[in-house]
Amino acid sequence: MQQYIARRGDTVSRIAARHGLTPEHVIQGNPWAGRQPYLYPGQILFLPSAPRRRYSVQEGDDAGLIAALFDVSIEELEMLNPGVTSGRCCIPGKVLVIPPAASRSVVSVRSEYGPEDVEQDIGKLVAKYPFVTRGSIGASVLGKPLHLLRIGSGPRHLHVNAALHANEWLTSPCLMSFIEQYAAAYDAGRDWHGHRPEEWHKHWTLWAVPMANPDGVELVQEGVLPGQPHYEELLQWNCGRRSFRHWKANIRGVDLGDQFPAHWEEEKARRGVPGPAPRDYSGPVPLSEPEAAALAELAEQYPGNAAVSLHSQGGEIYWNYRGYEPPESKGWAASLAAASGYRAVELSGSDAGYKDWFIQRFRKPGFTVELGIGKNPLPLADFEDMALETGLILGAILSNLK
């Protein structure tokens, strides 16, 4: 056992990932950590040694086959098992220690993916792929940057945002992962799941805001401590609950998914939420929140040919809005559904969303995509499937030149 003192921003999942453990390992050694919603700086945890994977050599195995099986390098395998590459220790029945697999991707999800992860991964992506450029469309209520990534040089513009709702933060690495895969395929001059990224790059410019509600995401993942702005108000708005896992709004209790000037008054009346809350409060006026206003300003500055707002969950694609959508929207939605296995849904009785405003304002195809199935926040185990589905949907749009 080793002793660990929790720091600001630590969670059970983050500590486990950092030490090669699972959250269950951490909770097993610290049962109280499974009963309180968040860790607090200064709390002491006792961590077990990281368990090692082991493998019994099979007939016909060699070091290369074993390394490929577990996605590790031969050098790492030899370091833990001297002689394995020479064959001396690679005989049937010999038990080998398997090193942890190192991610070859910049964007990976081993625990909660928050504002600092977005910041770090953006830095790595633009350093690795100089044709991906970064910027900012403003700042959140608490001053966190609203990062913007741009890839492509085409005359058609696609706007995509993720994590507009705080507890839907898993959509953020899904978008980041697609940008990385797009960039890697374009850089190598190869196809991506039957698509041609060089054609995407030639015909489209993709504007991506990977985490539109960073304050809310941090609140969901880390909770709130005394001294933080809005501490007392947040506890009051949350009905005294210490856990914010269910929270969708920004740090001022405004639901950014109901903030856009598309029949906003009707949505506010329908919701019937009079003031700040975990969800469904539309705010005092449309675009009162800096996060929503920044997204609208970006779309106004670079009017888009299409837009996507990534949410979770439901496995559905919403494509219409009060008849404002152009005729091609229904066909596009069908192609996105076919690519992803999701359902294209004609939605009614909902207003003031980003997709609603985009369709009404520009009369261009706009989509709300509900990634995954389950209860928010969705589990990390869903990330790989959701990231692929995100890419298949965005790839279908980028390959559509009609």
Task: Give the residue ranges of the chain where pLDDT is below 50.
Answer: none
Q: Decide if 297 is catalytic.
A: no
Cβ neighbors of 301 (< 8 A, separation 6 or more) are none
Whether residues 33 and 84 fall in one domain:
no
Cβ neighbour number for residue 104 with a 10 Å cutoff: 8
Q: What is residue 255's DSSP assignment? A: -
Whether 232 is covered by a domain: the verdict is: no
How far is the C-alpha of 83 from the C-alpha of 118, rounded, in Å?
41
Whether 106 is covered by a domain: the verdict is: no
Whether residues 34 and 134 fall in one domain:
no
Whether residues 298 and 201 fall in one domain:
yes
Rounded (5°) CA angle 330-298-307: 15
How far is the C-alpha of 118 from the C-alpha of 328, rounded, in Å?
34
Whether residues 32 and 58 fall in one domain:
no
**Number of structural domains in the chain:** 3
Residue ending a domain, choose from 65, 98, 131: 98
> What does DSSP say about strands 306-312 and 366-371: parallel, antiparallel, or unpaired?
parallel
Whether residues 145 and 74 fall in one domain:
no
Owning domain of residue 15 = 2-47
Task: List the helix and strand counts (H, then E) for the chain.
Answer: 14, 12
Whether 93 is covered by a domain: the verdict is: yes
Rounded (5°) CA angle 211-132-193: 85
- The predicted model scores a pTM of 0.90
Whether 272 is covered by a domain: the verdict is: no
> What does DSSP say about strands 316-318 and 343-345: parallel, antiparallel, or unpaired?
parallel
Whether residues 38 and 175 fall in one domain:
no
Q: For the chain, what is the radius of gyration of the CA atoms?
A: 23
Question: For residue 52, what pLDDT is reported?
Answer: 82
How far is the C-alpha of 239 from the C-alpha of 285, rounded, in Å?
24
- The closest of 264, 306, 263, 312 to 289, measured between CA atoms, is 264
Alpha carbon dihedral 7, 8, 13, 18, in 10-degree steps, equals -50
Whether residues 208 and 296 fall in one domain:
yes
Whether 103 is covered by a domain: the verdict is: no
The alpha carbon of residue 207 and the mean position of all alpha carbons in its chain are separated, in whole angstroms, by 16
Whether 57 is covered by a domain: the verdict is: yes
Question: For residue 99, what pLDDT is reported?
Answer: 86
Whether residues 394 and 295 fall in one domain:
yes
Strand partners, 345: 318
Whether residues 190 and 306 fall in one domain:
yes
Contact indicator for 96, 81 with CB cutoff of 8 Å = yes
Which CATH number fits the domain that encloses residue 337? 3.40.630.10
Question: For residue 401, what pLDDT is reported?
Answer: 67
Helices 171-188, 383-398: crossing angle, 10 deg rounding: 60
Q: Is the dihedral of CA 288, 291, 294, 300 positive or negative?
A: negative
Dump pLDDT digits (tens) for 343-389: 999 999 999 999 999 999 999 999 999 999 999 999 999 999 999 99
Dump pLDDT digits (tens) for 242-290: 999 999 999 999 999 999 999 999 999 999 999 999 999 999 999 999 9
Rounded (5°) CA angle 360-366-371: 135
Q: What is residue 321's DSSP assignment? A: -
How far is the C-alpha of 287 from the C-alpha of 264, rounded, in Å?
10
Whether residues 39 and 58 fall in one domain:
no
Question: For residue 50, what pLDDT is reported?
Answer: 79
Catalytic pick among 222, 267, 325, 370: 370
- The closest of 63, 62, 83 to 73, measured between CA atoms, is 63
Whether 184 is covered by a domain: the verdict is: yes
Whether 108 is covered by a domain: the verdict is: no
Which CATH number fits the domain that encloses residue 10? 3.10.350.10
Contact indicator for 209, 147 with CB cutoff of 8 Å = yes
